[in-house]
Amino acid sequence: GENVEQHPSTLSVQEGDSAVIKCTYSDSASNYFPWYKQELGKRPQLIIDIRSNVGEKKDQRIAVTLNKTAKHFSLHITETQPEDSAVYFCAASGGGGADGLTFGKGTHLIIQP
């Protein structure tokens, strides 16, 4: 089945700087790659997603890039703000196995004032 690796597990950046979180996946048939943000005690919330026919997608300060050949995708957050502090999860879906998302283990993003 699909395996998703996510790095780093913890990322601390100064407010205003950029943050980058990277994920790799194993199943070349995967075609959908969402990113979720989860605040403490809350449900995961979708922040951006990308499909395999697109190489990059942006939404204001957030962008995701996908390299299908290398089987990796990344989340980029620019001009970080205190409210960006949370745990971020990447995921992959649509491969040849069972339906549902396979998640990375998460990145705890800390924005230092």
Partner 1 sequence: DAGITQSPRHKVTETGTPVTLRCHQTENHRYMYWYRQDPGHGLRLIHYSYGVKDTDKGEVSDGYSVSRSKTEDFLLTLESATSSQTSVYFCAISRTSGGAGTDTQYFGPGTRLTVL
Tell me which residues touch partner 1 (CB under 8 A).
1, 6, 31-32, 34, 36, 42-46, 49, 51, 89, 91, 93-94, 98-106
Give 11 or 32: the residue with its C-beta nearer to partner 1. Answer: 32
The number of angstroms, rounded, from the C-alpha of 1 to the middle of its chain's C-alpha atoms is: 19
**Closest separation in Å from C-beta 45 to partner 1:** 8
Give 55 or 97: the residue with its C-beta nearer to partner 1. Answer: 97
Give 84 or 95: the residue with its C-beta nearer to partner 1. Answer: 95
Nearest to 80 by CA among 39, 109, 47: 109
Whether the bond between 44 and the residue before it is cis, its omega within 30 degrees of 0, is: no
Can you read off the two tokens belonging to residue 69?
A: 């050949």
Nearest to 23 by CA among 6, 2, 1, 47: 6
**Closest separation in Å from C-beta 18 to partner 1:** 24
**Closest separation in Å from C-beta 15 to partner 1:** 26
**Closest separation in Å from C-beta 73 to partner 1:** 14
> 98 in helix, strand or coil?
coil
Give 2 or 84: the residue with its C-beta nearer to partner 1. Answer: 2
Residue partners of 39: CB distance under 8 A and separation at least 6: 86, 87
